[in-house]
Amino acid sequence: MTRKTVHLAVYDTFADWETGYTTAHLTQNGGTVRTVGLTTESVTTMGGVRIQPDLALDELRPEDSALLILTGASLWDTGDELAPFARKARAFLDAGVPVAAICGATAGLAREGLLDDRAHTSAVSFYLAATGYAGGARYVEADAVTDGGLITAGPTEPVAFAREVFGLLGVYGAEKLDAWYRLFHDSDASAYEVLAG
């Protein structure tokens, strides 16, 4: 991981639980997580937690980031308020900087056309089909999918989502990444030995 700063998009109705593994283990491994809002006004997550964004979306530049993370939120399905985050994701991908989207954020990317030509997943295929996007043939039934610089996952897969982020950014080598996943996804206590080694 050459660039150490990862940007986490935050907005009202942000799904708190979807990125906890990702952000905690990135920071424990030398990364920095900075939050990005539409503005720097505080937002309230789905769990009722107030977050003060570190910077506004229009200040965010792909060259200053290792990754943009977009989580689910009720707002992805109720209008266009979060569309600027999908447009920023396009700018990141166009600049060769990866993007990771989970849950409702995948619908935002579908509406932006970013899933039309990339393998991807989400909660279920018909959820994305309802956006009218053209990428249905590229939908994969999987916990999480990485295609080039884009990671997608469904809302029940925060551990698989984190695994894909860590793999893409080189946070852990293959053996440790597998052990990390077995520990947090499968509760496999034998994985502790690999992680401690």
By annotation, the residues acting in catalysis are 103
Judge whether 6 and 35 are in contact, CB under 8 Å. Answer: no
Helix (H) / strand (E) containing 151: strand 150-153
Judge whether 72 and 13 are in contact, CB under 8 Å. Answer: no
Give the sign of the dihedral formed by CA 123, CA 125, CA 128, CA 130: negative
* R_g (Cα) of the chain, nearest Å: 16
Quote the tokens at residue 7: 């940007």
CA distances from 158 to 64, 135, 143, 144, 193 (A): 25, 23, 9, 9, 23
Q: Which of 132, 2, 159, 136 is nearest to 67 (CA)?
A: 2
Match 């990390």 to its residue by tokens: 180
**47-80 CB burial, b ≥16 within 10 A, e <16:** eeeebebbeebeebebeebbbbbbbbbebbeeee
